[in-house]
Amino acid sequence: MKSIVLTGIKPTGTPHIGNYVGAIKQAIEMSENSEYDNFYFIADYHSLNALKTSEELKTYTKELACTWLACGLNPEKVVFYRQSRIPETTELCWILMNVTPKGLMDRAHAYKASVQANLEKGADADDGVNMGLYNYPILMAADILLFNTKFVPVGQDQKQHVEMARDIAKYFNKKYGYTFVVPQEKIQEESATLLGLDGRKMSKSYGNQIPLFCDEGTLKKLISSIKTDSSLPTEPKSTNCVLFDYIKVFGSPEKINEMEKRFAEGISWADAKKELFEMANEYIKPMREKYNYYMEHFDEVESLLKLGEEKARVIAKETLERARKAVGVID
């Protein structure tokens, strides 16, 4: 029996190029590994803390589902589902709450960061902190434990979430007998981190991002706005810049070598941006066409998600039944 690997992404915004480079691309490549059974889910319940309206949640969930498929996720090779369509998740979350120490939740990075920010501005420590934020790690533990997950691919900054899920599984198994697979983090190699158009972190709040599937005209306009230095067209250019970082993402090895030479020779920033646009557009265009198709034919995406959810619930029901028997809710 293969080990299960589980990956989830929150639908909290329109996917941008930074999301693709930093997480989606690597996750798609991992899905091709036949050594594991791979589960991919859209963590829509987890996003409730970050979104303000129901329309945002519907829109971003749709966009994320289409993005996964457009970027190459194969639903025939993985289990692809929405968290909210697996009701066993929230029932298990409640069961797990009853073995999880409050002290463990007090140490969660997101909660501690909120408390620290409140104290620094002279507010009450728990100002603006709801129970969704506070119990976020327990819901994540339910996501993981429900599917007998062995490995959870995360970056170093997300390691704590898997550690907490592991602790919660151990607390439960110690009290009620072995019930849950104890998960392990699978630390991913550091992905390239693309900065925004202005050289700051790529973020919706800064308005400096490039939507992954924007149209060609918008892509060209945004690339033209990438911040560069004031060197003259004939002067050599440093490759240690945001623009060249994008070239390294979208260019072939041969093209990257060519652009390194042209930077040294003094290519103009306008010409460099033109070259980047052509590289990026060629790279993204096939995915953009698939994305637009799926957005216009979402009934097909819905069908694929429902098939994944049916597969997921087979395992979820078995795991929840074990947990219910363990705590004495059923014989």
Catalytic residues: 121, 201, 204
Please tell me what DSSP assigns to residue 10. -
Angstrom distance (rounded) from CA 82 to CA 112? 28
Is the CB of residue 213 less than 8 Å from the CB of residue 19? no
Angstrom distance (rounded) from CA 222 to CA 211? 10
| Three-state DSSP state, 5 | strand
Token output for 101: 């120490």
Torsion angle, CA of 129/131/137/142, rounded to 10 degrees?
-160
Distance of CA 99 to the CA centre of its chain: 28
Angstrom distance (rounded) from CA 144 to CA 166? 9
End-to-end CA distance of the chain: 28
Is the CB of residue 178 less than 8 Å from the CB of residue 171? no
Is the CB of residue 38 less than 8 Å from the CB of residue 79? yes
